[in-house]
Amino acid sequence: MERKYIYGGVALVVIIFILFLIMRKKGTDSSSSPSDTTVGPTIEVNDLQATQTPDKSDNTVENTKTESYMIQTSEGYANEGNFDDKELSKNIKLKLTWNNGGGWDEISKIIIKWEQEVTDETDETKTKNVERMRHTIQKAASENAKYFTQYESGLTHTFQANKDANGNDVATDKKFSAVGKNMIHVYYVDKDSNEVRLTGDDVPSYTVTVDMLSATKDLLSAKTFTYRPTTGTAEIDATITETEYYLYNNAIKKDMIKLISKDKKEGKVVLLPEGESAANSTVRLKVNLDAAASEDVTAGDKHFLKRDNAGLIKIEKVDDNTDFDDPYKFEVVAGSEDKYIRLRQLGNGNKDKFMMVDFNNDKTLKIQTYTQIDDACTAKSLDFLLSASKQDITDCSGDTTVDGSISSD
């Protein structure tokens, strides 16, 4: 009798164990609840770039124009008097860069918003975000496919405060002051038409002050700062962006590295600001040469643009012992249009000396005073273009005499 009870007890334990295994399998079967396995899209924010651009409005600066170019006075704008902070806010640009994760197959619309932190009117001890500008990206447009691609990297969007995507002023009732804490958030629209935020609370932000807006009236060159989220904290680390560019001139088809080397070298330039702050408009022009496409260049060699005693611009090989004195340094100033910059020789006594292509001297790139300009093509060559990709620029031709003069002060 006792043996029967023992056998029965063992059988009961076995049955219970089998039932336990069956129930656990059902509980972990991913096919049992499809809705629980649905994963939305994800992104990873790389950085936020904030750019202060020189004010282009006609305030108190003395401008002297010719047919094809303009140089602003080196002393800038007066700081006195009232100014419109909404108007000056157009000199602020924000650019967010991010990478896509997975989960994008079913998404067809993205909304990108410039948001600003303000005091909550219902509780002054709290803050909230308000939308200032928005940009919608539709998957239906073929040119937008990359924004909806799984694990796509290097995605970007840039806002210019109070300007639409075409660079036109927004409606008066849509204008805002950029003074305050600004950020860009990315949303996707779900199947129920809800806007679901993808960016976290620690997204990089950029705080604009009244003094910053006022200072754009004095800027001669754009200042760009890069803000990146730091691991484990919402604090932001600010650094100056280092980007490779092809250096083009407004009057010459080939890029400047090919022009200087007489087509023997190929490469890009990097603007290295002097000092630790982008507030300094003094730069060195590092040249990253393509060793495989260049003559007499060894991989790993370092090169910079340098002005020689005669003002000619050369590609100079450097090493750890090189003294980067004034011939390696240039001052960046505003060009005739937003897309251009100009490069001036350092020193208070050199306000009239700019880098240009001398069309009267075999199209050499050199520093010379603008008072020596007597043809339209050399005048046009005051403007330089930094481009991430190769450009098709038309060679300037003709020997039209310049009508007018340029003033530096």
Dump pLDDT digits (tens) for 241-268.
Answer: 457 889 999 999 999 999 999 999 999 9
Q: How many domains does the chain have?
A: 2
Q: Is residue 176 part of a domain?
A: yes
163 and 275 share one domain: no
71 and 190 share one domain: yes
Q: Is residue 117 part of a domain?
A: yes
* pLDDT the model gives residue 4: 57
* pLDDT the model gives residue 19: 62
277 and 296 share one domain: yes
- Indicate the pLDDT class of residue 77, thresholds 50, 70 and 90: very low
175 and 274 share one domain: no
| β-strand partners of 161 | none
86 and 230 share one domain: yes
Q: Is residue 15 part of a domain?
A: no
* pLDDT the model gives residue 277: 42
189 and 308 share one domain: no
**Could you tell me what percent of the chain has a pLDDT over 70?**
74
94 and 179 share one domain: yes
Largest Cα separation within the chain, whole Å, is: 123
313 and 365 share one domain: yes
User: Tokens 């694990």 appear where?
Assistant: 151
Pairwise CA distance, residues 295 & 84, whole Å: 54
3-state class percentages of the chain: helix first, strand second, coil last, to nearest 5? 20, 35, 45
| Domain carrying residue 335 | 244-387
Q: Is residue 17 part of a domain?
A: no
286 and 158 share one domain: no
198 and 265 share one domain: no
Q: Is residue 406 part of a domain?
A: no
* pLDDT the model gives residue 281: 74
231 and 308 share one domain: no
| β-strand partners of 358 | 364
Q: Is residue 221 part of a domain?
A: yes
Q: Kindly report the CATH number assigned to the domain that includes residue 344.
A: 2.80.10
| Backbone angles phi and psi of 338, in degrees to 5 | -55, -35
Q: Is residue 168 part of a domain?
A: yes
Q: Is residue 35 part of a domain?
A: no
Condensed to tens digits (0 to 9), the pLDDT of residues 278-323 reads 445 788 899 999 989 989 988 889 999 999 999 999 999 998 888 8
Tokens of residue 76, six digits: 């800038």
Pairwise CA distance, residues 256 & 261, whole Å: 8
Asked which of 215, 239, 263 is the last residue of a domain, the reply is 239
50 and 194 share one domain: yes
Whether the model clears a pTM of 0.85, i.e. scores above it, the answer is no
